[in-house]
């Protein structure tokens, strides 16, 4: 196995930037990119990126398995996407209405996504999930939205995972089932009588700090069936998984089609764009809701999304990510077996989650990841990770050299 | 007065694009940039932009007084801002954490905004107003938010102006006062007892379809005083007006400082970025709320914002916009007087609203604007407009040639 030439040196500039940041930003950072919940050793600030590599503010380089927490699907600074963005920006970006790219992109979404008869665009995944819920309520004239316990569907008051700053009324019409549990879904559906507006469900169970679970076919069928029976909307939250599982939608290979889907993250390879797609039954309801944002019609991000999709189609992206994801998973499995380390690798191989047995506080996971980080590989101890099409076999080999060190460190802790 | 050489020809490509759009986008367009509520003759799609000019998809050029509904403050495609964006994009944009630009930009906000001890960034104005409300509730442990009747603070379920897709509970903790009405503010504050978390107030009254109103000093003082007395947050919604009235915040010249401010639109000259600023009393509460978005740490939009602010400071932007705004207002006033047309021009001159007496259905306003459009000037019949620093005296002269035709058409209709 090839040895990894990256050795992390220091985080001196990062430390001084964090000190500056603490003065002018609450806690120095907010949201999912704060390193406050990560073990010591993670850099907060980054300086450069290219393909599968990220360089932190101190010049330490990493093979990146977070991909900006998902958006980077063709690799950092993909030349084709960046060129499309800049070319569009030189013509027109934000104006008093959209550019032609809006229609091109909506047509492309409708073309590649079998469940989609129409599309609308916005900026955040939360914009998209929120609009789906509004459209479902607008169509059905009902109120209740069923979501899986523990699932993340955005950071609005109505489902942000932390309750600070929210009121009970923000979520008074949410009801909860357990992912992959048909009985709990049926129970929750009957508990709300005639009032179910929608079932909002992630492409697969990708809660933080937990093993991932693909949807069972029985569960996906039950979601569709309950939605049909109750005349509610099946809303697929494809924000995190979209375009990594199936370019036609993450449930397409199950043969289950949502009424509405929320997209964001990977659709513009890191440029800010989100989308709602829906079928014709929900078209009129979609017209009635008022959702908007200052930058939602920006043409440059739409050009980036068009270029991203065209390239994903052209290079058989999902097969590439699956192949390398399998190589990584299989390599780690063998390493762990040899070392007697009990590791659980769950979810789709291109969106790996790596957790350790008997590790409720992530002590082992943290050791694994910080050791890998020292050897130039950026993994996450409890959030699912992401491969991109820029990862190469050589990247995976170098990564496996780092995970070998990481698993040895875990073995020594056990 | 110089004659205007622009004559609109046709909207043939626009029409064909709208037909394509109607197939793949609900109603062909959504949100505030839909031309559905505008009179016949407005183009939906745009192809090029530069400085004060917009070119529609059919090649018709306009002097633009909407500036993308506000974001374009230095003119379309400002070369300095675009260069800063591209330079940053070539280094790093979205990664697993922010770039150094986050700290630079937060420091710059704190530096130029006297009320700000810290800043956080996001993508939509709605993100910013929503985060302010959450921070106010998190700090005060109270629930009620007082807002002015008819004000627009975003398109989330909790205050989108159309109710389709919302539930009554989404706004169960909103209470309403009348802008510039101290008594109504006092009444609403006492009506909620101990439960007032915040007063959310626009920089000035800029409701659509109504005359604009600057805040009276008595009103602004009362808002501050009620917030102090009830230990609630004074939240200034500076999304629409921010950086056009005063670079230190729109109430700075009144001597009234908000606890929290929401910013977006103009802060990045059209690149997608929003901000919350706050004082130290609200810092800890801001740390506690969980707000985040996939693209909120993108460094390129932050570089654009930094370049925008630096240029606004350098070129004495507000004085320039005020000077041209006065020239436009005075010119129209004289034209209307000569023609016996009763026109009301309200709000800050750099954010004009032009409405006609006895025109409840905007028949006269529509005539005025569509005539100006035919002569190459893009005005809006019922939404406040925006000047940018790219507008020149010659632009205003050409605009006044078009408004002369517009007012003559109005006079003929009366």
Let me know if residue B300 belongs to a domain: yes
Are B352 and B307 part of one and the same domain? no
Task: Please write the tens of the pLDDT for every residue from B172-214.
Answer: 999 999 999 999 999 999 999 999 999 999 999 999 999 999 9
Q: Look up the CATH number of the domain holding residue B114.
A: 3.40.640.10
Are B25 and B135 part of one and the same domain? no
**CB contact (8 A) between residue B54 and residue A289:** no
CB B149 within 8 A of CB B178: yes
CA nearest neighbour of B32 among B240, B302, B263: B240
**CB contact (8 A) between residue B291 and residue A160:** yes
Q: What is the mean pLDDT of residues A54-71?
A: 97
CA distance A54 to chain B (A): 8
CA nearest neighbour of A269 among A82, A114, A140, A142: A82
Question: Measured between beta carbons, which residues in chain A are less than 8 angstroms from residue B289?
Answer: 160, 162, 164-165
Q: What integer pLDDT is reported at residue B414 of this predicted model? A: 83
> What would the two tokens of residue A125 be?
């995944």
User: CA separation (Å) from B85 to A210, A407, B92, B308, B373?
Assistant: 38, 41, 10, 10, 32
Q: CA B84 to CA A196: how far, in whole Å? A: 49
**CB contact (8 A) between residue B123 and residue A293:** yes
Let me know if residue B4 belongs to a domain: no
pLDDT band (50, 70, 90) for residue A267? very high
Let me know if residue A170 belongs to a domain: yes
Evaluate if residue B1 carries a pLDDT over 90. no
Task: Please write the tens of the pLDDT for every residue from B246-277.
Answer: 999 999 999 999 999 999 999 999 999 999 99
CA distance A63 to chain B (A): 12
**CB contact (8 A) between residue A134 and residue B127:** no
Residues whose CB falls within 8 Å of the CB of residue A338, separated by 6 or more in sequence, listed in order: none
- Bridge partners, residue A62, by sequence: A54
- Bridge partners, residue A54, by sequence: A49, A62
Let me know if residue A74 belongs to a domain: no
CA distance B190 to chain A (A): 21
pLDDT band (50, 70, 90) for residue A4? very low
Residues whose CB falls within 8 Å of the CB of residue B380, separated by 6 or more in sequence, listed in order: B38, B65, B66, B369
Question: Measured between beta carbons, which residues in chain A are less than 8 angstroms from residue B271?
Answer: 93-94, 295
SS3 breakdown of chain A: % helix, strand, coil, rounded to 5? 45, 15, 40
Task: Please write the tens of the pLDDT for every residue from B372-395.
Answer: 999 999 999 999 999 999 999 999
Question: Measured between beta carbons, which residues in chain A are less than 8 angstroms from residue B86?
Answer: 86, 89
Is any Cβ of chain A less than 8 angstroms from the Cβ of B50? Answer: no
User: Tokens 């450069």 sit at which residue?
Assistant: A48
Are B145 and B211 part of one and the same domain? yes
**CB contact (8 A) between residue A294 and residue B124:** yes
Percent of chain B predicted with pLDDT > 90: 97
Q: What integer pLDDT is reported at residue A206 of this predicted model? A: 98
Residue at a domain's end among B287, B314, B341: B314
Is any Cβ of chain A less than 8 angstroms from the Cβ of B296? Answer: yes
CA distance A334 to chain B (A): 28
- B45, B76, B165 ranked by CB distance to A100: nearest: B45
CB A199 within 8 A of CB A133: no
pLDDT band (50, 70, 90) for residue A9? low
The conformation of residue B165, written as its DSSP 8-state character, comes to T
Pairing mode of beta strands B343-346, B353-356: antiparallel
> Minimal Cα distance from B269: which residue of A?
A94
Task: Please write the tens of the pLDDT for every residue from B150-179.
Answer: 999 999 999 999 999 999 999 999 999 999
Would you say how long chain A is, in residues? 414
Task: Please write the tens of the pLDDT for every residue from A180-214.
Answer: 999 999 999 999 999 999 999 999 999 999 999 99
Q: What integer pLDDT is reported at residue A7 of this predicted model? A: 58
Q: CA A162 to CA A303: how far, in whole Å? A: 35
> Minimal Cα distance from B118: which residue of A?
A24
Residues whose CB falls within 8 Å of the CB of residue A252, separated by 6 or more in sequence, listed in order: A113, A114, A115, A246
> Minimal Cα distance from B81: which residue of A?
A89
Q: CA A142 to CA B178: how far, in whole Å? A: 32
Is any Cβ of chain A less than 8 angstroms from the Cβ of B57? Answer: yes
Q: Domain limits at B218? A: 79-314
Task: Please write the tens of the pLDDT for every residue from B216-246.
Answer: 999 999 999 999 999 999 999 999 999 999 9
Question: Measured between beta carbons, which residues in chain A are less than 8 angstroms from residue B302?
Answer: none
Let me know if residue B107 belongs to a domain: yes
Is any Cβ of chain A less than 8 angstroms from the Cβ of B281? Answer: no
Evaluate if residue B2 carries a pLDDT over 80. no
SS3 breakdown of chain B: % helix, strand, coil, rounded to 5? 45, 15, 40
**CB contact (8 A) between residue A24 and residue B92:** no
Are A163 and A271 part of one and the same domain? yes
Is any Cβ of chain B less than 8 angstroms from the Cβ of A409? Answer: no
Q: What is the average pLDDT value for chain A, to the nearest integer?
A: 96
CA nearest neighbour of A202 among A348, A307, A318: A348
B41's torsion region: left (phi>0), alpha (psi -120 to 50) or beta?
left
**CB contact (8 A) between residue B156 and residue A156:** yes
> Minimal Cα distance from A50: which residue of B?
B92
**CB contact (8 A) between residue A270 and residue B94:** yes
Residues whose CB falls within 8 Å of the CB of residue B335, separated by 6 or more in sequence, listed in order: B341, B400, B403, B404, B407
Are A49 and A100 part of one and the same domain? no
Q: CA B395 to CA B105: how far, in whole Å? A: 33
Are B182 and B110 part of one and the same domain? yes
Are B179 and B268 part of one and the same domain? yes
Evaluate if residue A1 carries a pLDDT over 50. no
Are B185 and B167 part of one and the same domain? yes
Let me know if residue A236 belongs to a domain: yes
Q: What's the CA angle centered on A99, arms A95 and A102, to 5 degrees?
A: 125
Are A308 and A346 part of one and the same domain? no
Is any Cβ of chain A less than 8 angstroms from the Cβ of B123? Answer: yes
Q: In chain B, positions 312-341, which contact chain A (CB-CB < 8 Å)? A: none
CB B95 within 8 A of CB A76: yes
Evaluate if residue B7 carries a pLDDT over 80. no
Let me know if residue B162 belongs to a domain: yes
Q: Walk across the sheet containing B377-378 and list its strands.
A: B46-50, B53-56, B61-64, B377-378
Percent of chain B predicted with pLDDT > 70: 98
> Minimal Cα distance from A70: which residue of B?
B294
Can you point out the beta strands (E) in A209-284?
A: 233-237, 260-263, 274-278
CB A282 within 8 A of CB A116: no
CB A220 within 8 A of CB A254: yes
- A287, A296, A298 ranked by CB distance to B26: nearest: A287
Domain count, chain B: 2
CB A42 within 8 A of CB A35: yes
Is any Cβ of chain B less than 8 angstroms from the Cβ of A242? Answer: no
Evaluate if residue B357 carries a pLDDT over 80. yes
What DSSP element (H or E) covers A147?
A: strand A144-148
The number of angstroms, rounded, from the C-alpha of A49 to the middle of its chain's C-alpha atoms is: 19
- B120, B133, B294 ranked by CB distance to A265: nearest: B294
- A47, A172, A295 ranked by CB distance to B169: nearest: A172
Q: CA A161 to CA A383: how far, in whole Å? A: 14
Quickly list DSSP for A291-303.
---TTTT-HHHHH
CB B349 within 8 A of CB B322: yes
Q: Which of B49, B53, B94 to mutate to test the interface with A (most CBs of A within 10 A)?
A: B94
Let me know if residue A2 belongs to a domain: no
Are A56 and A97 part of one and the same domain? no
Question: Measured between beta carbons, which residues in chain A are less than 8 angstroms from residue B113?
Answer: none
Q: CA B64 to CA B82: how far, in whole Å? A: 19
Pairing mode of beta strands A377-378, A61-64: parallel
Task: Please write the tens of the pLDDT for every residue from A155-182.
Answer: 999 999 999 999 999 999 999 999 999 9
Is any Cβ of chain B less than 8 angstroms from the Cβ of A137? Answer: yes
Are B278 and B407 part of one and the same domain? no
CA nearest neighbour of B274 among B111, B387, B154: B154
B244's torsion region: left (phi>0), alpha (psi -120 to 50) or beta?
alpha
Longest CA pairwise span in chain B (Å): 62
Is any Cβ of chain A less than 8 angstroms from the Cβ of B61? Answer: no
Are B287 and B337 part of one and the same domain? no
Task: Please write the tens of the pLDDT for every residue from A111-124.
Answer: 999 999 999 999 99
**CB contact (8 A) between residue B120 and residue A165:** no
Is any Cβ of chain A less than 8 angstroms from the Cβ of B79? Answer: no
CB B289 within 8 A of CB B134: yes
Q: CA A50 to CA B90: how far, in whole Å? A: 9
Q: What integer pLDDT is reported at residue A3 of this predicted model? A: 43
User: For A262, phi and psi rounded to 5 degrees?
Assistant: -105, 130
Residue at a domain's end among B258, B289, B314: B314
- B138, B156, B164 ranked by CB distance to A165: nearest: B138
Q: Walk across the sheet containing B174-177 and list its strands.
A: B118-122, B274-278, B260-263, B233-237, B196-202, B144-148, B174-177
Pairing mode of beta strands A196-202, A144-148: parallel
Q: Look up the CATH number of the domain holding residue B321.
A: 3.90.1150.10
State the complex-level ipTM: 0.97
User: CA separation (Å) from A377 to A66, A99, B93, B402?
Assistant: 10, 40, 20, 62
**CB contact (8 A) between residue A173 and residue B167:** yes
Question: Measured between beta carbons, which residues in chain A are less than 8 angstroms from residue B102?
Answer: 21, 25, 45
**CB contact (8 A) between residue B97 and residue A157:** no
Residue at a domain's end among B261, B293, B314: B314
Task: Please write the tens of the pLDDT for every residue from A284-315.
Answer: 999 999 999 999 999 999 999 999 999 999 99
* Model confidence pTM above 0.95: yes
pLDDT band (50, 70, 90) for residue A414? confident
CA nearest neighbour of A97 among B106, B2, B55: B55
Q: What integer pLDDT is reported at residue A112 of this predicted model? A: 98
Q: What is the mean pLDDT of residues A357-375?
A: 97
- B68, B91, B98 ranked by CB distance to A45: nearest: B98
- Bridge partners, residue B237, by sequence: B202, B262
Is any Cβ of chain B less than 8 angstroms from the Cβ of A141? Answer: no
Q: CA A171 to CA A165: how far, in whole Å? A: 13
> Minimal Cα distance from B167: which residue of A?
A143
Q: Is the Cα torsion angle A288, A292, A297, A301 positive or negative in sign?
A: negative
């Amino acid at each position: 196995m090839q040895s990894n030439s990256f050795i992390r040196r220091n985080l001196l500039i990062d430390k001084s930037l964090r000190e500056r940041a603490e003065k002018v930003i609450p806690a120095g950072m907010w949201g999912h990119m704060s390193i406050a919940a990560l073990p010591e050793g993670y850099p907060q600030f980054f300086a450069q990126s290219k393909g599968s590599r990220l360089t932190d503010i101190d010049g330490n380089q990493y093979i990146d398995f977070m991909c900006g927490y998902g958006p980077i699907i063709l690799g950092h600074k993909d030349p084709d996407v960046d060129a499309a963005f800049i070319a569009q920006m030189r013509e027109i970006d934000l104006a008093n209405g959209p550019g032609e790219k809006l229609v091109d992109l909506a047509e492309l979404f409708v073309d590649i996504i079998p469940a989609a008869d129409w599309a609308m665009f916005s900026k955040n995944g939360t914009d998209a999930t929120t609009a789906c819920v509004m459209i479902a309520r607008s169509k059905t004239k009902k109120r209740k939205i069923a979501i899986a316990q523990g699932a993340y569907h955005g950071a609005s008051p109505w489902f942000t995972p932390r309750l600070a700053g929210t009121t009970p009324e923000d979520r008074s019409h949410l009801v909860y089932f357990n992912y992959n549990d048909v009985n709990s879904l049926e129970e929750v559906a009957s508990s709300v009588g005639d009032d179910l507006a929608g079932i909002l469900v992630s492409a697969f169970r990708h809660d933080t700090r937990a093993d991932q679970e693909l949807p069972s076919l029985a569960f996906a069928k039950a979601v569709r069936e309950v939605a049909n029976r109750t005349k509610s909307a099946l809303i697929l939250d494809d924000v995190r998984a979209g375009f990594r599982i199936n370019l036609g939608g993450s449930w397409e290979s199950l043969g289950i089609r949502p009424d509405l889907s929320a997209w964001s993250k990977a659709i513009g390879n890191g440029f800010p764009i989100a989308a709602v797609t829906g079928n014709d039954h929900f078209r009129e309801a979609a017209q009635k809701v008022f959702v908007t944002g200052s930058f939602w019609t920006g043409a440059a991000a739409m050009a980036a999304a068009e270029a991203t999709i065209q390239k994903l189609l052209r290079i058989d992206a999902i097969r590439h990510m699956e192949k390398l994801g399998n190589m990584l998973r299989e390599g780690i499995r063998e390493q762990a077996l040899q070392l007697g380390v009990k590791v659980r690798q769950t979810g789709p191989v291109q969106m790996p989650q790596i957790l350790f047995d008997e590790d409720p506080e992530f002590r082992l996971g943290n050791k694994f990841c910080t050791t890998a980080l020292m050897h130039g590989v950026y993994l996450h101890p409890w959030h699912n990770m992401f491969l991109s099409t820029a990862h190469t076999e050589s990247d995976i080999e170098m990564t496996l050299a780092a995970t070998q060190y990481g698993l040895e460190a875990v073995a020594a802790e056990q």
